[in-house]
A and B are shown apart, each in its own frame.
Chain A
Amino acid sequence: MNNNLNSFVVADSSKCIGCKACEIACFAVHNKNNNVGCTVGTVETAVIPRLYLVKTPSVTMPIQCRQCEDAPCAKSCSVGAIRQIDNTIVVDQKKCIGCKNCIMACPFGAIDLLPQYDNGKEVVQFNLKEESHNGLEEIVKSTAYKCDLCIDNGEQACIKTCPNNALRLVKPLDEKKYKNKKAAQALMNTTKNYKQL
């Protein structure tokens, strides 16, 4: 049985300076289909990152998806738009109907529902229109956005771009083994000292 727990990105709040470089990098690598190149001038859509800088009087750090093993967002999705691919929880934006169940289900606020863009243009809804002064008008389609660990790029843009090395990829099993070793070492040191007394 696969015991390979999903990895996820966390920020160290003692290192985070709140510059939002992670948000910009996240947006840039996920919007190549919207003609976003390497410079700010190529951006013609709203900036939609998949991690969110949180700033309170006591803490500054970005929050993003934990890639939960029994993902409540996926469980709540009525159309099966959220799936696990290669140990990553991914939204299929074509299937997403914008029902917001995932937003309600996620305990971390790691999912947002915002306009969808294709080729730099807003995607309009297929079958719903809005009444206005000029008659029926098209409505922009919204879709769920969440961290996919840069599944198409192989490396996480936020981690790579952080100027203060505040972000890291947590591999839960490695984390556990590392802590086991540290605990063993600590215990050994304690026992050694004890014998000397």
Chain B
Amino acid sequence: MSIINIDKELCTGCRRCANVCPVGAIKGEQGKVQTIDEHKCVVCGQCVQICSSYASQFDTEITSIDLKLKERGMLEGTKEPLFAAYNMGQVDLLKKYLSDDNKYKIVQCAPAVRVALAEEFGMEFGKLTPGKMASALKKLNFDRVYDTNFAADLTIMEEGSELIKRVTEGKNLPMFTSCCPAWVKFAETEYPEILNHLSSCKSPQQMAGTIFKTYGAEIDNIDPSTILSVAVMPCTCKQFECDREEINSSGYKDVDIVITTRELAYLIKDMGIDFINIDDEEFDKPLGEYSGAGTIFGSTGGVMEAALRTGYELITKKSIPNIDLKFVRGGQGLRTATVEVGDLNLNIAIVSGLKNVIPVIESIKEGKCDFHFIEVMTCPEGCVSGGGQPKLLIEEHRDVAYKKRKESIYDHDSNLKIRKSHENPAIKKLYDEFLKEPLGHKSHHLLHTNYVSRKEI
């Protein structure tokens, strides 16, 4: 079973999924059942978001809903309607582990989850609920509720330093971000010749996983082999990423199970937790502490903004004059700017929507690309519109939902006391006590990775 699938019984062949697929992986004639080319598919889940062909509870000619729930890895008794395009769930598996007291269960949550999860309980679009989410996760029997936002700050330390190094040496420019696993898979499949342009940094999810099973195990005095590392993600491709063979530098699989925002909601409902009225709780420290820079990773332009906040200060040794870099925000598929960082004029680009990266790659191949740093996110608005996010019932709500989720991300950032990754005290402590320095020996071993060509010859 692949991660992204189309249910043959339910597909009506409308091909809306094929229209949103950024890589043309969905094949079939109009009006006929569609299939997915697994090699091409980047597992972004946009087809899951758009599909409106559902299983009617009154259709006796199709496989029973109970059986379908089982086939899809969903929880028994989940009430929501099932659609033709779906992602293979991990929540049923996770539920079994949650009651296993021999496992030390650590969870991390991506920044885009806390601005959308509440929608699954009927709250308004983009409602920001980090405290409720942390509280619900504790009630679900996790031993540590940590945060991907922390690892986003860590990513900035490594990726920012890597950019500075590459710009200084004039090597492998432009440098692309590597946080988005669908983008990485796309580059590996279609353009392996540019893989040396990708940052060697693991994504925040994988950095978090590694740190939990090394430093995290040390500070909690836990045998890392007993740790179950779980990630809650807005993204369907994060499961693909955590299953990559090379991602095990802690000595174990860095992240064991990934569930989506929607699956976390199933679990909260299944356990009878009253999400709307639950009291706020804090994330556990130190690996749940984060800055505003870490939180904006969930929106297109966020990684760039976070990197610039830190990069500017590391290079110039001066405080950045204006922390809100609004010129990198927005929704267009390609945004570009030139930023003065000390003596350096840094040419940057932000790409959202995978189709928009192709002309950029072509310009690199022609030797005509003068950008230094490029952020790429596969989904249209970044992770807030990811394939694992709450799915909308009515098409006209799409734009407003994405807009509200983004606004919430930036509000969260501006209301946090610490808004730069390098000022996160837990990050400073991690380097002091464990990693020593960005791009150092230990960082290199634990936090960086390499890529493989997946091109079919």
Report which A residues bind B (CB closer than 8 A): 17-21, 23-25, 27-29, 35-47, 53, 55, 60, 114, 157, 160-161, 163
A114 neighbours in B (Cβ, 8 Å): 58
Which single member of A28, A42, A160, A161 contacts B122 (CB below 8 Å)?
A: A42
Shortest C-beta distance, A34 to chain B (Å), equals 11
In the complex, the answer to whether B119 meets A37 with C-beta atoms within 8 Å is yes
Contact stretch, chosen from B7-15, B250-258, B322-330: B7-15
Q: Which residues of chain A are within 8 angstroms of B79 by Cβ–Cβ distance? A: 43-45
B390–A24 CB distance below 8 A? no
B31–A40 CB distance below 8 A: no
Q: How far is the CA of A20 from the CA of B12 in the complex (A)?
A: 9
Q: Is the CB of B16 within 8 A of A46?
A: no
Q: Which residue of A lies closest to B79 (CB)?
A: A44
Q: Let me know if B153 is at the binding interface, CB within 8 A.
A: no
Docked-complex contact B80 and A43, CB < 8 angstroms: yes
C-alpha gap A43/B395 in the complex (Å)? 16
User: CB-nearest residue of chain A relative to B261?
Assistant: A41
* B52 and A38 contacting across the interface, CB-CB below 8 Å: no
The contact of A40 among B15, B80, B125, by CB within 8 Å, is B80
**B391, CB-defined interface residue at 8 Å:** yes
B81 touches A18 (CB 8 A): no
CB-defined contacts of A60 to chain B, threshold 8 Å:
12, 31
Q: Which among A18, A20, A23, A38 has the greatest number of chain B C-beta atoms within 10 A?
A: A38
Q: Which residues of A contact B397 (CB under 8 A)?
A: 38
B13 contacts across to A, CB distance below 8 A? 18
Contacts of B391 in A (CB 8 A): 39-41
Q: How far is the CB of B285 from chain A (nearest CB, A)?
A: 31
A19 to B13, CA, bound (A): 8
Contacting pair A157 B394 (CB below 8 A): yes
Question: What are the interface flags for B389-405 relative to A under an 8 Å C-beta threshold, 1 for contact and 0 otherwise?
Answer: 01111111100010000
B345 to chain A, nearest CB (A): 44
10 pairs from A and B in contact (CB 8 Å cutoff)? A18-B12, A18-B31, A35-B122, A38-B119, A39-B119, A39-B392, A39-B393, A42-B122, A46-B56, A160-B394
Residue-wise interface mask of B (42-86) relative to A, using a CB-CB cutoff of 8 A (1 in contact, 0 not) = 000000000011101110000000000000000000011101000
Residues in A with CB closer than 8 Å to B53 are: 18-20
Number of chain B residues whose Cβ lies closer than 8 Å to a Cβ of chain A: 35
* A-chain residues with CB within 8 Å of residue B83 when the two chains form the complex: 40
Query: Which positions in B face A, CB cutoff 8 Å?
Result: 12-16, 30-31, 52-54, 56-58, 79-81, 83, 119-123, 125, 262, 265-266, 390-397, 401
User: In chain B, what residue has the closest Cβ to A36?
Assistant: B393
B395:A21 contact, CB within 8 angstroms: yes
Please tell me if the beta carbons of B12 and A41 are within 8 angstroms of each other in the complex.
no
Q: Report whether A39 and B120 are in contact in the complex, using a CB–CB cutoff of 8 Å.
A: yes
A39 to B391, CA, bound (A): 5
A37 CA to B118 CA in the complex, in Å?
11
State the CA gap A102–B58 with chains docked (Å): 19
| For the complex of A and B, 10 pairs with smallest distance between CB atoms | A41-B120, A19-B14, A39-B390, A37-B122, A28-B393, A46-B57, A21-B52, A17-B14, A44-B79, A18-B12
Closest to A52 in B: B56
Q: Would B396 and A160 count as touching, CB distance under 8 A?
A: yes
CB distance from A40 to the nearest CB of B (A): 4
Residues of B within 8 A of A46 (CB): 56-58
A53 to chain B, nearest CB (A): 7
Chain B contacts for A23, CB-based, 8 A: 52, 54
How far is the CB of B230 from the nearest CB of chain A, in Å?
20
Chain A residues positioned under 8 Å from B15 (CB to CB): 17
Contact at B12–A24, with CB atoms within 8 Å?
Answer: no
Cβ 8 A contact of A17, one of B30, B58, B265: B30
Please indicate the chain A residues that have their CB under 8 angstroms from the CB of B52 in the complex.
19-21, 23-24
Known contacts A21-B395, A38-B393, A161-B395, A47 near B81 by CB under 8 Å: yes
Q: How far is the CA of A155 from the CA of B397 in the complex (A)?
A: 15
Write the chain B residue with the least CB distance to A160. Answer: B396
Assembled-state Cα–Cα distance A29/B396 (Å): 13
Q: How long is the Cα–Cα vector from A194 to B53 in the complex, in angstroms?
A: 53
CA separation between A29 and B80, bound complex, in Å?
16
What are the residues of chain A within 8 A of B81 when measuring CB–CB? Answer: 24, 40, 43, 47
**When the two chains form their complex, are residues A25 and B54 in contact, meaning their CB atoms are under 8 A apart?**
no
Q: Give 17 new A-B contacts, CB below 8 A, not counting A38-B393, A39-B119.
A: A20-B14, A35-B122, A36-B393, A38-B392, A38-B397, A40-B83, A41-B119, A41-B120, A41-B265, A42-B80, A43-B80, A45-B79, A46-B56, A46-B58, A157-B394, A160-B394, A163-B16
Residues of A within 8 A of B390 (CB): 39-41
B403 smallest CB distance to A (angstroms): 13
B58 adjacent to A42 (CB under 8 Å): no
In the complex, A159→B30 CA distance in Å? Answer: 22
Compute how far the CA of A114 lies from the CA of B56 in the bound complex, rounded to whole angstroms: 12
Q: Which listed residue, A18, A27, A40, touches B14 by the CB 8 Å rule?
A: A18
Q: How far is the CA of A34 from the CA of B247 in the complex (A)?
A: 45
Residue of B nearest to A49 (CB): B56
Taking the closest CB of chain A, its distance from the CB of B192, in whole angstroms, is 35
Given the contacts A18-B12, A36-B393, A60-B31, A42 and B54 also touching, CB distance less than 8 Å: no
Q: Note all chain B residues with C-beta closer than 8 A to A160.
A: 394, 396
From A17, A18, A24, A44, give the contact of B393 (CB < 8 A).
A24
CA distance A38 to B400 in the complex (A): 11
Q: What is the distance, in angstroms, from A150's C-beta to the closest C-beta of chain B?
A: 12
